């Protein structure tokens, strides 16, 4: 039996005036976040003209952004159906499992390879995360979250694993934004990040690996609950 794709009208945030310089990238980010936050359901058809109207742009940057999203694996173009959302629960679950495996290995390597003079930098990020969590706003904390994980990647001194995690960024950044909109989630994430950071600083490779894996899996479960089980 042939599946029929249905157009879905999802609310996508209009682009601000500063988006003009890199319009395609801004459209790509807006659509990517809409997909990763569950505003478009798997199997739904994306109406390019409607999206262009919502974003206040022409259809050209929308078409370009959709091609980039197809390269990311989030959508696919089907004959006589148009652009269809590919991202679903199973895809998201695999994304989380892959990230847990990669990030936990990198955390273990960071604990083994961190130099004495690098400890202060990691502590400083943790202090900033504590302050941002107490302040209550998600935006700064999202940036610091990415900075924390990026610093661990630097401390691990990986090359091949670093390339693999770069490919995950298209999913990671979107999922973090969804999760950090929840105040309780921000508090839980802080405690977990502190445990990971302290284990790396103490060069406790086993704990660093375990704490990171549990953090990614738990945060991933929260993401699945927020997006697919709401």
- pLDDT tens string 26-65: 898 889 999 999 999 899 999 999 999 988 888 999 999 9
Q: Give the Cα separation of 47 and 83 in Å (integer).
A: 8
pLDDT score of 7: 56
Q: How many CB atoms lie within 10 A of CB 133?
A: 21
As a whole number, mean pLDDT of residues 66-86 equals 92
Q: Give the Cα separation of 164 and 53 in Å (integer).
A: 36
Residue 18 has pLDDT above 60, yes or no: no
* Residue 127: φ, ψ to 5°: -65, -40
Cβ(59)–Cβ(191) below 8 Å:
no
Residue 189: which of 176, 174, 204 has the closest Cα? 176
pLDDT score of 3: 44
- Termini Cα distance of the chain: 29
pLDDT score of 21: 44
Secondary-structure percent of the chain, ordered helix, strand, coil, rounded to 5: 75, 5, 20
Q: Give the Cα separation of 221 and 209 in Å (integer).
A: 18
Q: Choose the most confident range, by mean pLDDT, from 92-96, 160-164, 173-177, 210-214.
A: 210-214
The single residue listed with the structure tokens 């940057």 is 61
User: Which domains are delineated in the chain?
Assistant: 6-85 (1.10.10.10), 89-228 (1.20.120.530)
Confidence of residue 12 (pLDDT cuts 50, 70, 90): low
pLDDT score of 23: 82
In our burial notation (b when 16+ CB lie closer than 10 A, e otherwise), range 180-202 reads: beeeebbeebbebbebbbbbbbe
Tell me the CA distances in angstroms from 216 to 123, 192, 212, one per residue in order.
Answer: 20, 9, 6
Mean pLDDT of the chain: 89
Question: By mean pLDDT, which of 18-32, 49-63, 200-214, 216-230 is the weakest?
Answer: 18-32
Tokens of 70: 């197809």
As a whole number, mean pLDDT of residues 6-29 equals 64
Please state the pTM of the whole predicted model.
0.84
In our burial notation (b when 16+ CB lie closer than 10 A, e otherwise), range 2-24 reads: eeebeeeebebeebeeebeeebb
208 versus 79: which is more confidently predicted?
Answer: 208
Residue 102 has pLDDT above 90, yes or no: yes
């Amino acid at each position: 039996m042939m599946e029929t794709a249905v157009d879905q009208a999802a609310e996508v945030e209009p682009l601000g005036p500063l988006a003009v310089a890199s319009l395609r990238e801004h459209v790509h980010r807006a659509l990517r976040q809409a997909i990763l936050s569950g505003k478009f359901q798997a199997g739904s058809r994306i109406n390019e003209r409607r999206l262009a109207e919502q974003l206040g742009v022409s259809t050209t940057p929308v078409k370009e952004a959709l091609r980039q999203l197809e390269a990311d694996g989030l959508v696919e173009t089907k004959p006589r159906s148009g652009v269809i959302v590919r991202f679903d629960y199973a895809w998201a679950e695999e994304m989380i499992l892959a990230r847990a495996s990669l990030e936990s290995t990198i955390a273990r390597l960071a604990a083994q390879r961190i130099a004495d003079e690098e400890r202060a930098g990691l502590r400083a990020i943790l202090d900033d995360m504590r302050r941002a969590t107490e302040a209550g706003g998600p935006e700064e904390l999202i940036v610091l979250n990415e900075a924390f994980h990026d610093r661990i990647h630097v401390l691990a001194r990986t090359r091949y694993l670093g390339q693999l995690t770069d490919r995950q960024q298209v999913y990671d950044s979107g999922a973090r934004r969804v999760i950090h909109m929840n105040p309780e989630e921000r508090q839980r994430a802080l405690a977990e990040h502190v445990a990971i950071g302290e284990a790396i600083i103490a060069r406790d490779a086993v704990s660093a690996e375990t704490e990171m894996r549990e953090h990614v899996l738990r945060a991933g479960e929260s993401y699945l609950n927020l997006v697919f089980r709401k």
